[in-house]
A and B are shown apart, each in its own frame.
Chain A
Amino acid sequence: MKIVIIGNGIAGNQVAFTLIQQESRNEICIISAENVPEYDPCSLPYFLGGDVEKNAIFRKKIEDYDHHNIELIFNNKVVGIDPEAKHVTTDKGLQINYDKLVLAHGGELFIPPIEGIDNQGVFSCKQLFETEKLNSHQGRCAVVIGSGAIGIEAAEALKKKGYEVYIIELLDWILPTLFDEPTAKRLEAAMERYGINVCTGEKVLKIKGEDRVKGVVTDQREIECDTVVVATGVIPGTKLAETAGIKTGRGILVNEFMQTNVPDIYACGDCVETIDASTGETAIFQLKHNALEQGKIVAKNISGKQTIYLGAHAFARTNFFKTHAASFGKTLQGSKCLSGKSKVFEREKGGDYLRVILLDGKIIGGQAIGKYADTIGLLISAMRRKDDINQLRCNWKNIVRSDLTYLLPQLRLGHIFGL
């Protein structure tokens, strides 16, 4: 059976290497738009900041593919799928037949339509070659547009390289999808302490300069700079899927076996729309651990072992300079659409901050900074198991009295809640 995987990212490789573990009789072919083996996009800002060598960001070597007889086609972008004839065509005119096709091409950078966005000195930080360009660029003042995880980490990396850094965020606080306002404001203060200028609630109107970047104009100020990093997010790539008549919503739509509506075509990774495992609503999670899990599920289903994907989990953390922050589940903002009584539990100690969002006594999300972020897993597990905090409160005396080891983590959870 010939399996063609579009995209050489985290999800695509996970599919290929899980398939190899299961069976080696398959013929596997990966089509990549880039010309490097699999790398970790999450590590790119560390490479930019000089924390890690270039070699360290690669998750695979060329030899790994050869060793397992995986055919790797570089520099080819797939432009069309013909589900009737069962072949794909690339922009170089290559035609490749398949028995099973996996769409794992990820997302496309969202480039906001700002005047001057094509100028020299405007970069992104999502792909390796773009990051390398930014790395070799000489500048002294940079503006980062957008404050998602990539924007924040890119800002830190540039600060380490000696740039003067501004972050511009359209919404009222940084990392708006991960954190609620009180958490984000604390992070913002921490970033300001490190010398990064954070401007929230501002809109970039124009990038100045004829062909080289000279500055950025927002609705509140004008910043002179020579570098602009666009980190305004990634949108799922659905155009390719549409050529095959695959149903798409915000991302490619898949069923619980990660199959699209066209037979023998699967999809996984950043390009699909999945469900949130804890609430059941449709959502897009472009996170590495979800891509890995989806890849595994696709591989199992292709090799005939029917496996159901239960949904994606939101968990993200950032580590800038010395502040460690983590977020999981829903934010209070995001829980407003859920029915039930939501309550917020907050704790603060020195610079450490914890915020847990409870819905009818059950944890549905949380955010933590500093020491609290180190034990955030206790909360994640309690959310996954749907443990009731009110019940914990009722049983507290029994838990404290008994010395059963499997209750020890619950004891720690109780301490977090100040019981």
Chain B
Amino acid sequence: MEIRREQLKIDPKKCTACHQCTTACSIMHYGVDDPNFSRIKILQFENKDFNVPIICMACENPICIDVCPMNTRVRKSNGTIVTDTETCIGCKACLYICPVGSPVENPLTGQSMTCDMCEDDPEGPWCVKACHEHGALTICEIDAQITQVARQQAGRMRRIFS
């Protein structure tokens, strides 16, 4: 199975927390404009000059796959890791274990959901289109360098906020 190595990249400095992406995400997947149905969450900091859009990072060794008691977290051919809604029992193990805090609970079914890069849409993720003005969400090829930079940034963030 060849895995396409493409991923969403976030830029907290450019994010203005306008919530266009959450709107786009919930409309794309569920046809409703409701932030509770969005797979993106935005962590807002009122007294700082950036906001962090939180999405699934599709880790190399995803702990959500390990922890899921029903083996419902699976990696798709486009590199994303999604919940199989047929077998998910909504136990919320992935919500708890995720180091990023990205899985979102579906308010209707209680199952978890994460970014699937809008795999049904050939034109690419809707949130990226919604964010083209600000450019806080973009698509990038995964390579070692980017992963390293992302890890360094994540480490710094953790030190600041926890």
* A positions within 8 Å CB-CB of B: 21, 289, 292-293, 313, 315, 317, 326, 328, 374-378, 380-382, 384-385, 402, 404-410, 412-413
Instruction: Chain A residues near B70: list those with CB within 8 A.
Output: 289
In the assembled complex, how far is the CB of residue A295 from the closest CB belonging to chain B, in whole angstroms?
A: 11
Q: Hey, which chain B residues are within 8 Å of A381, CB to CB?
A: 67, 92-97
A377 to B93, CA, bound (A): 4
Other than A377-B92, A378-B95, give 15 A-B pairs with Cβ distance below 8 A: A315-B69, A377-B69, A378-B92, A380-B67, A380-B93, A381-B94, A384-B67, A384-B97, A385-B96, A405-B43, A405-B101, A406-B54, A407-B101, A409-B92, A409-B95
Given the known inter-chain contacts A289-B69, A289-B71, A384-B67, please indicate yes or no for A374 contacting B96, CB distance below 8 A.
no
B91 CB → nearest A CB, Å: 3
**Distance, CA A412 to CA B103, complexed state (A):** 14
Structural contact, B161 and A404, CB atoms closer than 8 A: yes
Residues 16-56 of chain B, each 1 if its beta carbon lies under 8 Å from chain A, else 0? 00000000000000000000000001010000000000100
Interfacial residues of chain B within 68-120, with CB under 8 A of chain A in the complex: 69-71, 89-101, 110
Instruction: Return chain A residues, CB-CB under 8 Å to B1.
Output: 21
Contact, CB under 8 Å: A405 / B69: no
Interface centre among B93, B95, B99, B101 (most CB of A within 10 A): B93
Complex Cα–Cα for A317 and B99 (A): 26
Number of chain B residues whose Cβ lies closer than 8 Å to a Cβ of chain A: 25
Tell me which residues across on chain B come within 8 A of A315, comparing CB atoms.
69
Minimum CB distance partner of A408 in chain B: B101
- State A378–B96 Cα separation when bound (angstroms): 6
Q: Give every chain A residue within 8 A of B96 (Cβ-Cβ).
A: 377-378, 381-382, 385, 409-410, 412-413
Q: Which residues of B contact A (CB under 8 A)?
A: 1, 41, 43, 54, 66-67, 69-71, 89-101, 110, 161-162
Closest to B92 in A: A377
The smallest C-beta distance from B43 to any residue of chain A, in angstroms, reads 6
User: Which residues of B lie under 8 Å from residue A405 when comparing CB positions?
Assistant: 41, 43, 54, 101
Majority secondary structure of chain A interface residues (helix, strand, loop or mixed): helix
Q: Top 10 A-B pairs ranked by shortest CB distance?
A: A406-B101, A377-B93, A377-B91, A381-B96, A409-B96, A381-B97, A315-B69, A377-B92, A405-B101, A381-B93
Min CB–CB distance B102 → chain A (angstroms): 8
What residues of B have a CB within 8 angstroms of the CB of A382 in the complex? 96
> B100 to A380, Cβ gap below 8 A?
no
CB distance from B66 to the nearest CB of A (A): 8
Closest to A292 in B: B71
User: When A404-B161, A409-B101 are in contact, do A378 and B41 touch as well, CB less than 8 Å?
Assistant: no
Q: Is the CB of A374 within 8 A of B91?
A: yes
A116 and B70 CA atoms in complex are apart in Å by 39
Which residues of A are found within 8 Å of B92, using beta-carbon distances? Answer: 374-375, 377-378, 381, 409, 412
Q: Which residues of B contact A378 (CB under 8 A)?
A: 91-93, 95-96
Contact of B110 among A293, A374, A412 (CB under 8 A): A374
Kindly provide the distance from the CB of B74 to the nearest chain A CB, expressed in whole angstroms: 11
- Determine the chain A residues whose CB is within 8 A of the CB of B99 once the complex forms: 406
Contact B90 A374 (CB under 8 A): yes
Q: Which of chain A's residues have a CB closer than 8 A to the CB of B91?
A: 326, 374-378, 380
Chain B residues with CB under 8 Å of A375's CB are 91-92
- How far, in Å, is B89 (CB) from chain A's closest CB? 7
Please, which residues of chain B bring their CB within 8 A of the CB of A326? 91
Report the minimal beta-carbon distance from B59 to chain A, rounded to whole angstroms: 14
A-B contact pairs, 27 of them (CB 8 A): A289-B70, A293-B71, A313-B69, A326-B91, A328-B69, A374-B110, A377-B67, A377-B96, A378-B93, A378-B96, A380-B67, A380-B69, A380-B91, A380-B93, A381-B93, A381-B95, A381-B97, A384-B66, A385-B97, A404-B161, A405-B43, A405-B54, A405-B101, A409-B92, A409-B95, A409-B96, A409-B101
The complex places the Cα of A293 from the Cα of B94 at a distance, in Å, of 17
